Amino acid sequence: MVHTVGFYGHSGRTGVVVTPRLLKARDEGKINLVVLHRPSSDISKLPQDLEKRVLDLEKGSEDEIKAAVKGINVLLSNVAYFGLADQVKLIKPLSETPGFVTLIPSGYGPAWAQVTPANAKKANEPTYDQRLDLIKTPMVAVAQAAADAGVAVTNVECGLLADGFFQEEFLGTKLSKNEITLFKDALNKPIYLVTVEGLADALVDIVTREPLTIAGKVFHTNNFAPTGAEIIALSKEINGKSEVKINEFTQEEYDSMMAVPGHGMAIASWHESWCTDNWSWYGERVGEVVDVEEFAKTSVQ
């Protein structure tokens, strides 16, 4: 029997890549699909025969949310960071929805930024790695509410978005500028990266499976994991053999950024995991290995 997937967050950075893949799965008869959207969302580009429902997690009543998720077996949430906390409002309506199996909450990221079965207990301890403070409050709230209500949660961990790493200088590396920023032993350690397309493929792979086989599970995905040295060689090749500018991410910068939860802490945390190769991936790996050189050259163009 074909199950019904609800998808919330179709128009964001990841959503616009996930949506056509879900539509393809629907057209192939693998799933039924319902797109859930905010009242202000532009749905004009979605197929007319696709079921669409308004889901207002900010202002909607419990009954309105319950009506929006009616008949859904798997709910894939793709809300942006500012909407993570609102996901807790899904839990009670989902717990009262006949046939509902599992929620895949947004907040995809590395293992240290997830509330998984392996670290959920630690997440409530004040001494737990402060990196979790980045999304601790909303993710712990969702996990706790789900556990209390008996709602299964499926977590998806992933590497750093590759375009953010290579071109947006999130960690101080930009191929088009022929620059890389390294912390401690990052030269010899891998940085786990995922393309938006790779993350989208992994999410669709998961939601098209039999719902009971993914309920309560943890999955992780990444497409490539080059070391700092490999990135330097790649940057040099792309930029006509010219020498790569290597910047140091200092201990002082790390300490300063880790002192205050927020964007800086995320940067420091990624640098730390990279230079120590401490990632702690959980669960089943999904997704394909991609040629990092081919991707990098395309991203620069």
DSSP the chain: --EEEEEE-TTSTTHHHHHHHHHHHHHTTSEEEEEEE-TT---TTS-TTSEEEE--TTT--HHHHHHHTTT-SEEEE---GGGTGGGGGGHHHHHTSTT--EEE-S--B-GGGS--TTTHHHHTSTTS-GGGGGTHHHHHHHHHHHHHHT-EE-EEEE-EEHHHHHTS-TTS-BGGGTEEEE-TTGGGSB--EE-HHHHHHHHHHHHTS-HHHHTT-EEEE-SB--BHHHHHHHHHHHTTTPPPEEEE--HHHHHHHHTSSSHHHHHHHHHHHHHHT-----SEE-S----HHHHHHHHH-
Average pLDDT, the chain: 89
Check residue 212 and give its pLDDT: 98
- Mean per-residue pLDDT for 187-215? 96
pLDDT at 134: 54
Instruction: Report the range out of 62-66, 121-125, 161-165 with the highest average pLDDT.
Output: 62-66
Q: What is the mean pLDDT of residues 144-148?
A: 91
Per CATH, is 3-159+196-221 categorized as 3.40.50.720? yes
Q: What's the whole-model pTM score?
A: 0.91
Higher model confidence: residue 138 or residue 159? 159
What mean pLDDT do residues 70-95 have? 93
- With 90 as the cut, is the pLDDT of residue 102 above it? yes
**Mean pLDDT of all residues in 42-47:** 94
Residue 37 has pLDDT above 60, yes or no: yes
pLDDT for 109: 78
pLDDT digits (tens, 9 = 90+) for 246-301: 999 999 999 998 887 777 888 888 999 999 998 878 889 998 888 888 887 776 65
Q: Do domains 3-159+196-221 and 160-193+223-278+288-300 have the same CATH topology?
A: no
Domain boundary assignment for the chain: 3-159+196-221, 160-193+223-278+288-300
**What pLDDT is stored for residue 120 in this prediction?**
57
Look at residue 65 and tell me whether its pLDDT is greater than 50: yes
**pLDDT surpasses 80 at 130:** no
pLDDT of residue 168: 84
User: What class has domain 160-193+223-278+288-300?
Assistant: alpha beta
241 band by pLDDT with thresholds 50, 70 and 90: confident
Please give the residue that has the higher pLDDT: either 122 or 206.
Answer: 206
What confidence score (pLDDT) does residue 301 get? 56
pLDDT score recorded for residue 131: 56
